[in-house]
Structure 1
Amino acid sequence: MPSRSHLDKFGRKKKKKWTDEAMERALIEVKSGRCTVRQAAKEFGVPKSSLGDRVSGRVAPGSRSGPAQLIPSADEELLVEFSLYMSKHGFPLTKQQLVSFASSIYKRQHRRVAFSKLGQTWWLNFRKRQEKNITIQPADNVVRGRTVCVRKEAVDQFFHLLSTILDGHGLRDKPRQIFNCNELGFQLGRKRVSLPKSASLGYKPAPGSRDHISVLACFNAAGEDIPPFIIYSNAYPGGVCYKTQGPPSALYGWSDSGWINSDLFRKWFLKHFLVHAPKERPLLLIFDGHKSPVNLEVVESARKEDVILLCLPPQCSHILQPLDVGLFVVLKQRFASLIGEGCASDTHFAVSKKEFSGVFKSTYQIAQEEEGVQIVKDGFRKCGIYPVNHFTISETHLMPLHSISAAAGPAMSTAAPGGHMVGELTAAGPSS
């Protein structure tokens, strides 16, 4: 792979020193017969050979110099707009994520190509072309690891963004249009079922011998649900009884880890959430997206369907995730009681992958009852999401910025004036 210094040196050597306007004027003069190719090239300061190519027709007028652009300009503008949208809604893209999204655009244009040609050279050229629109920020490594407290500045920024969105879209008094989705995991063993803490979207546990099942739940601030999405590890159970015994209208899927991934999230959003969500618009969907279950197609569909995606700050699920704070605690207790876990006799019955959906149906029933609806509403209230109340978050959970050691990684570039300090890769232009 060529080094950055090598590419910069190559770029300086090959830099175009003439403008398209000058070439167009020179071409007009030659075609009118007022100048020869040599005279026009000298007068307008353009290369004689390049002008001659356009006069003879070997190169079409208006063609860009250099190798063909891998992604058309219109699609590149879409990529910049996508980056701007993501950074404005709490999903700042890393370099790897942006190249991945660019590769998906490339493959969409070249369906027969197995691998994308986009790599380091494309990235450096993209940065140079879009230096007025994209700014690179240093990586803040402190948000990568587990911390006892979360940054006060991150929480303040989230509530500011939340208030801006609710006021800008008239959602402050519309609880049926404010949703939270989150994932709850279950490990299946031979004699018992252990229920770990609920996981953020995209979390990948360490590989183990036990079957793993997770459930993606989604509720609005009025306590109404989108039917759950049950995700099995490795493969579906045999037969169809797991579907007939499960919660009504539930969606089913599987992944290698038993957790949601980008493809499953796309399936859930496009074929389940949009189908079961209220018809009123806009809708606000709040979730932890820092494990990147979101792809370009989801964002495009969300904007088309007037659904606002809002990402929670990293490591804040225990204070800002309404389902974590409320309903999931009750679901764990209900599931444990159904399988006999925690009883004095210490007797448990084994739950297989086939039987899980039936047991979970009985567990999930509480969400449809008055008690469960109130628990969901209380979760939104305790997190300060609805009604919006920043002061519900206890100061004991917050860590001021000055108390965090300097753990940030090296900056990829200097932040441009006006850039939004929200992550590694942000858009520098105005919000669209």
Structure 2
Amino acid sequence: MPSRNHLDKIRKNKKWTEEAMERALVEVKSGRCTVRQAAKQFGVPKSSLGDRVSGRVTPGSRSGPAQLIASADEDRLVEFSLYMSKHGFPLTKQQVVSFASSIYKRRHRRVAFSKLGQTWWLNFRKRQEKNITNQQADFVVRGKTVCMRKEQVNQFFHLLNSVMDANELRDKPRQILNCCETGFQLGRKRVIYPKSSSLGYKPPPGSRDHISILACFSATGEDIPPFIIYSKAYPGVCYKTQGPPDALYGWSDSGRVNSELFKRWFLKHFLVYAPKERPLLLIFDGHKSPVNLEVLEAARKKNVVLLCLPPNCSHLLQPLELGLFPLLKQRFTTLTGDTCTAEACFAVSKKDFTGVFKETYQAAKEEEGVGIVKEGFRKCGLYPPDHSSINNALLMPSRSMSPADGASLSTAAQGVPTVDDLTVAGPSS
């Protein structure tokens, strides 16, 4: 792969301009000059001018290899990147190249592999240098700490208020939704052994089956039927028969939501059961469930605004984490007859999980559960938007930025952190 310096050197060696080439071409076509004379007069290469005169090269076309992605698709990719940045999902270089590869494969279905790599990335950055920039994030906002800083919370609420005002959502709690994931690790029932007997092999912690629930509620306490995610494959339909009404089911190696599962949930489930009023505001932790082109296209088409929470904020900004999930896990523990804590093992099999969870999930439908969801939105300051609802004692003090800290985040990203941000250059509009 050619290095950035090598590509810059090639560009610098080009001493003529397209304007000079056009003027030379006019002179040759008018018959006032020969190709040689016009090339000398306007300082352009004779061979390049000859190619344009003969029609082998279209006037105004770029030199070098053909652009792998059409200009319209590249503009769409830039627009996608800017939207993601402004709504709290700044993309990394790897994500941009991955999305570009998806576009390329969509246009070239017979190609077995993508041709996009470092060379395409460097050329893309050069072509779009007026629109985007790739910056290094401050080390504090890379999600490495367990506490949030005050400036992160301030920046998020600034973004939240801007989005609500732009979409006139301040008095429409039914159109403001939060989705969040919680997990259940399935343990083994306890049995009695002689004290001196050897139990043999003990599975290491974390090796038990893991089941996740992706729940989504509005600020009025109304729900989207849950998404139940199993670890590894689940055989047949026996795992689905006794679950909550209209629940969605899926699986992943980790037993947690990933990009593909989130896309399936959003396109096939959320848009089906979400309120019909528009616009909708969907707030969630996008760093764990990264959106992709298909999700963004569908969201914009259906007038759904996606807003990302900063990382490491579940204890402050996730309404479901503050009340509903502890209630559900307490109910689950009661139904299973197990005395383990909410995050510990439960004496229930994977096959029986949906039946037990159906009874558990009824708590969210009851008056107490609805009230807890609404109170969670209030405590987090998400609805009504209220920065003062946050407990400042749980925040780390603000940290002043200095040149020694490295490149700062672009203001267009509204300060929502990530690593290697792809953000808008210059101030946001």
TM-score, length-scaled by structure 2: 0.88
Deviations 1:360-389 (A, max 9, x none): 100001111111111110100010100111
Matched letter for residue 425 of structure 2: A
Distance 1:180 1:359, change over 3 A: same
Residue 402 of structure 1 pairs with residue 399 of structure 2: yes
Aligned to 1:5: 5
Residue 326 of structure 1: CA displacement?
A: 1.6
Which of the numbers 164, 167, 171 marks the counterpart of 1:166? 164
SS at match of 2:88: coil
Residue 135 of structure 1 pairs with residue 162 of structure 2: no
Aligned to 2:87: 89
Supply the distance in 1 between the matched residues of 2:310 and 2:367 (Cα, whole angstroms).
31
Supply the distance in 2 between the matched residues of 1:422 and 1:183 (Cα, whole angstroms).
20
Supply the distance in 2 between the matched residues of 1:417 and 1:189 (Cα, whole angstroms).
47
Supply the distance in 2 between the matched residues of 1:254 and 1:40 (Cα, whole angstroms).
67
Supply the distance in 2 between the matched residues of 1:407 and 1:93 (Cα, whole angstroms).
24
SS at match of 2:378: helix
Aligned to 1:384: 381
Which of the numbers 297, 322, 328 marks the counterpart of 2:294? 297
Distance 1:145 1:89, change over 3 A: closer
Deviations 1:80-123 (A, max 9, x none): 11111111111111222222222222222222223222222221
Matched letter for residue 399 of structure 2: H
Aligned to 2:353: 356
Residue 78 of structure 1: CA displacement?
A: 1.1
Distance 1:325 1:139, change over 3 A: same
Q: 1:227–1:248: 8 Å Cα contact kept in structure 2?
A: yes
Of 55-64 and 269-278, more deviation after overlay is shown by 55-64
Aligned to 1:74: 72
Which of the numbers 339, 344, 348 marks the counterpart of 1:342? 339
Aligned to 2:150: 152
Supply the distance in 1 between the matched residues of 2:412 and 2:401 (Cα, whole angstroms).
25
Which of the numbers 217, 220, 225 marks the counterpart of 1:219? 217
Distance 1:383 1:112, change over 3 A: same
SS at match of 2:102: helix
Residue 405 of structure 1: CA displacement?
A: 11
Supply the distance in 2 between the matched residues of 1:417 and 1:46 (Cα, whole angstroms).
42
TM-score, length-scaled by structure 1: 0.88
Supply the distance in 2 between the matched residues of 1:231 and 1:28 (Cα, whole angstroms).
66
Supply the distance in 2 between the matched residues of 1:296 and 1:133 (Cα, whole angstroms).
19
Aligned to 1:50: 48
Distance 1:429 1:233, change over 3 A: same
Supply the distance in 2 between the matched residues of 1:405 and 1:55 (Cα, whole angstroms).
56
Q: 2:184–2:212: 8 Å Cα contact kept in structure 1?
A: yes
Supply the distance in 2 between the matched residues of 1:361 and 1:418 (Cα, whole angstroms).
43
Deviations 1:202-224 (A, max 9, x none): xxxx9943111101000000100
Matched letter for residue 428 of structure 1: A
Supply the distance in 2 between the matched residues of 1:314 and 1:392 (Cα, whole angstroms).
19
What 5-or-longer segments of structure 1 have no aligned partner?
193-205
Which of the numbers 212, 230, 247 marks the counterpart of 1:250? 247
Aligned to 1:428: 425
Distance 1:111 1:136, change over 3 A: same
SS at match of 1:209: coil
Percent of residue pairs bearing the same amino acid type: 77
Q: 2:412–2:425: 8 Å Cα contact kept in structure 1?
A: yes
Aligned to 2:328: 331
CA root-mean-square deviation: 2.6
Q: 2:24–2:38: 8 Å Cα contact kept in structure 1?
A: yes
Q: 2:90–2:413: 8 Å Cα contact kept in structure 1?
A: no
Of 415-424 and 119-128, more deviation after overlay is shown by 415-424
